[in-house]
Amino acid sequence: MKKIGAWVLYTVLRLLMFAVPLAVLFLVLPQQYWIYSTIAAALIGFALSYLILGRPRRAVAEQLASIGKKGPAAPKPGGDEDAEDSAVDASQPAASTPGVRRPEGDPVEQSDKPAEL
C-alpha cells in the first residue's frame, strides 16, 4: 500500500477543522447568519490547526524543503547569453557611430514623406 503524503494528510485535517465547526454553526445559528457562521468556522479552523497540527505542518515543510533541494540548478551567469549578446551587438551598427550609413527604410531614420502602404 502506498504511503499517504504529509501534505495530503495535512490538507484533509485542515479541511475537517473547518467543515466540522461550520456544520455545527449551521445547525445552531439561524440560516440568515450563514456568513457569520462561515467566518467563525474559518477562524476556529485556523486556530485549531495552528494549535493541534504542528507535527504535520513541520512534515509538509520538510517535504517542500527536500523538493527544493532536488530541483533544477540555477543557470550559471555567463555562458551562452554573453556570446549571443556580443554576436547581436556586432551585427548591428550603433546609431551614434559616425561614418556608419544606415540602409534606406530603416525604422530608426525619420523621414518627411509618409509611409507607403
| Res 108: pLDDT | 56
| Res 20: pLDDT | 97
Q: What is the pLDDT along the chain (117 residues), one digit of tens a residue?
A: 456 788 899 999 999 999 999 999 999 999 899 999 999 999 999 999 999 999 999 998 888 888 877 766 665 666 677 777 777 877 876 555 555 565 665 555 555 666 666
End-to-end CA distance of the chain: 70
The number of beta carbons lying within 10 Å of the beta carbon of residue 10 is: 20
CA dist list (Å): 60 to 2, 15, 18, 42, 82: 17, 16, 19, 21, 40
Report whether 39 contacts 12 (CB < 8 A): no
Q: Where are the domains of the chain?
A: 7-68
Q: Is the pTM of this model over 0.75?
A: no
Q: Which three cell numbers stand for residue 116?
A: 507607403
Residues found in the chain? 117
